[in-house]
Copies of this chain bind each other. A is one copy, B any other.
Amino acid sequence: METFAEASAVRPAGPDVWGGAIQPGWDIAGNANGGYLMAIGTRALIASTGRADPVSVTAHFLAPGKPGPVSVRTAVVKEGKRFATATALLRATDRPVLSLVGSTGELDRTGDHQRPEDNDRPEGYELVDSGPPDLPPPDECFALVATDTFPPPFMGHVDLRLHPDDAGFARGEASGRPLMRGWFRFAGGEPIDTVGLLVAVDAFPPTIFNARQAPAWTPTLELTAHIRARPDPGWLRCRFATRFVTGGFLEEDGEIWDGSDRLVAQSRQLALVPRH
């Protein structure tokens, strides 16, 4: 089985064009996971700008991604001292799949900002309003596996463990709270780089599954991820919540925390209320 690094890789395929592939097995019911598609597009953003990490990436989802070759056309619009900005269009052979804009740069490792002397530098100022979600150990959480009514995500590429209080939807017992908390790692313990965090922010079942009874396709229109730091190796703790379902739209806000209790990514997506 290929690693995430392999499954999301791109290679030069012409001026401002990068080649890659949507690998089978990164899908839910035949459609590639949105965060995985973003990861492929973001590899091209990184390659085109020559920076190490995504800092803020936005994707608009144009069509479902099916396994097969893809091309990513990039346009670098700014190369600054600290950040570069580029757009990208990820296409399957027959149609555009994803439109992206992102800024890239060089992020700290999670531990870098915990030096005491940082408090003396203005840019070292920090404020953290809340911490990682309180989760039972992974072995006491709910591992998502296939059921008759719920397909498993990613067919074994990703290890997801839901907080037991948020897993009721899978047996038809939604909690009534649009909240989804749990552990995330790649199968096989592959370290998660800053591009891998894009998979984490879109890997969990939609929060709305816990607000309503029947899980249904909840299409994402747009997803923005802010990457704050390079995560420590190991399990990530994730929290997704929705506050407003209005006008046929809902937002889903995500936070990803690493083993050092450091916020490594924040996300928000705009999705459409299922019409079932």
- Shortest CB-to-CB span from A32 to chain B, Å, is 17
User: For the complex formed by this chain, how many copies does it contain in all?
Assistant: 2
What is the size, in residues, of chain A's interface with B at 8 Å between Cβ atoms? 59
- Shortest CB-to-CB span from A111 to chain B, Å, is 11
User: Are A99 and B85 also in contact (CB < 8 A) when A108-B247, A262-B246 are?
Assistant: yes
Contact residue among B78, B127, B130, B273 (Cβ-Cβ distance under 8 Å from A96): B78
Chain A 67-110, CB-CB to B under 8 Å as 1, else 0, gives 00000000001101001010101000000100111110001100
A96, A113, A125: which has the most chain B beta carbons within 10 Å?
A125
Interface residues of A (CB under 8 A from B): 55-56, 58, 60, 62-63, 77-78, 80, 83, 85, 87, 89, 96, 99-103, 107-108, 113, 122-130, 178, 211-212, 221-222, 224, 226, 228-229, 242-251, 262-263, 266, 268, 270, 273-276
Is A263 a contact of B248 with CB atoms below 8 Å?
no
Q: How far is the CA of A63 from the CA of B266 in the complex (A)?
A: 25
Leading 8 A-B pairs by shortest Cβ distance: A129-B243, A127-B245, A58-B58, A56-B222, A62-B78, A101-B101, A123-B275, A77-B99
> Can you report 10 residue pairs joining A to B where beta carbons are below 8 Å apart?
A55-B270, A62-B78, A78-B96, A87-B87, A87-B99, A123-B274, A125-B273, A226-B249, A228-B246, A229-B246
**Taking CB as reference atom, which chain B residue is nearest A58?**
B58
- Shortest CB-to-CB span from A110 to chain B, Å, is 9
Q: Kindly list chain B residues whose C-beta atoms are within 8 Å of the C-beta of A276.
A: 122
Q: How far is the CA of A99 from the CA of B101 in the complex (A)?
A: 8
Q: Kindly list chain B residues whose C-beta atoms are within 8 Å of the C-beta of A224.
A: 58, 222, 224, 268
Is B77 a contact of A270 with CB atoms below 8 Å?
no
Contact residue among B63, B96, B103, B244 (Cβ-Cβ distance under 8 Å from A228): B244
